[in-house]
Amino acid sequence: MNDLKNLSLPELIETLQPLGLPPFRARQLFSWLHQKQAVDFDQMTSLPSNVRAQLKEKFIISRFVPCRTESSEDGSRKYVFKTADGHGIESVLIPERRHLTLCISTQIGCAMGCRFCCTGQGGLVRNLRPGEIVGQVLCIVRENNLGERLPNIVYMGMGEPLANYDNLITSIRILQDENGLNYSHRKITVSTCGLVPGMQALGRDTDVNLAISLNAPDDRLRSELMPVNKTYPLARLLEAARSYPLPPRKRITFEYILMRDVNDSDRHARTLAGLLKGIRCKINLIPFNEHPGSEFRAPDEQRLLSFQSILVEHNYTAPIRRSKGADIAAACGQLGRLDGEAAH
């Protein structure tokens, strides 16, 4: 049966039309699903009993409940969910100075094959459906009793969001709908390794924030680290970034994971500064999160600060983002490392 959590409000209106239910009933139902988080049609007391009976016959309401949670010393919390077909997916709630950030997943595994990332080591299993993506948000908002204190959402968990484009867009529309959680575009960021057609579509279809995982200032090195660069090299990627429709107060975020003696020299910093010239952006510098079996190491503090200072001299905003949750395998690039345990 059809899971109602997979449907945006316009899709829900269309789905209920053959049952003779008008749009206002769809809005009521949507609100019960996302604002009130009803898990049973009988809870939907504003719907007549005969309507609830109709819905029970034809639809289901999925509900995400974590099968495991882990808490980090820094206050981050990782949630491991079990999908209906037995796979584990992971989300991380991260405390920031003035807000919370929730990192959510869009795929089980990943096909991009970036050498520094754990998630893609086992390849791609499947895309997550919209209800599975939104379900992570709904569950964590409920579990932490966040109410109106909604966390910022970053699509930076397991998987490449733009490789699951249709389900990504549906999930964004569900989150932004005023009959649901009513998320502002300012609180949602989609991160990509550089799927250029998806970036162009995202700019046309949404007004959310864009982050690009860059990690190297030249094609040779980036292709070694990120196979996607062989299909969409830097010239195409940066052309798409320059033409991306940005409102006056928004910037593209470039994520740059610094790996010792790989991409962290002063020369790399100067090349990067020239490469991004003319793009309204900021550069998040992320020291590599070391994990067992990885060939890479994090740079030392002096190297980090030297790299940052060169970018600042070139008038870039370049904060050092020290990933949280490393002690529970929840830091950037570590999700999915324990996926084999996630379904137990």
Which of the residues are catalytic? 90, 332
Alpha helices in 95-143 (DSSP H): 130-143
Q: How long is the chain?
A: 344
State the DSSP H helix or E strand holding residue 78, giving kind and residue range, or none if neither. Answer: strand 77-82
DSSP alpha helix (H) spans, the chain: 9-16, 23-34, 49-58, 130-143, 165-176, 196-205, 219-225, 228-231, 234-242, 266-275, 301-313, 339-342
State the residue for tokens 């020290």.
Answer: 322
Beta bridge partners of 2: 59
Three-class secondary structure of residue 153 per DSSP? strand
CA distance 29 to 45: 10
Measured CA to CA, the distance from residue 202 to residue 190 in angstroms comes to 9
Residue type, 195: L
| Sign of torsion over alpha carbons 62, 27, 138, 135 | positive
**For residue 146, what are the CA distances in angstroms to 81, 99, 100, 331?**
19, 11, 10, 22
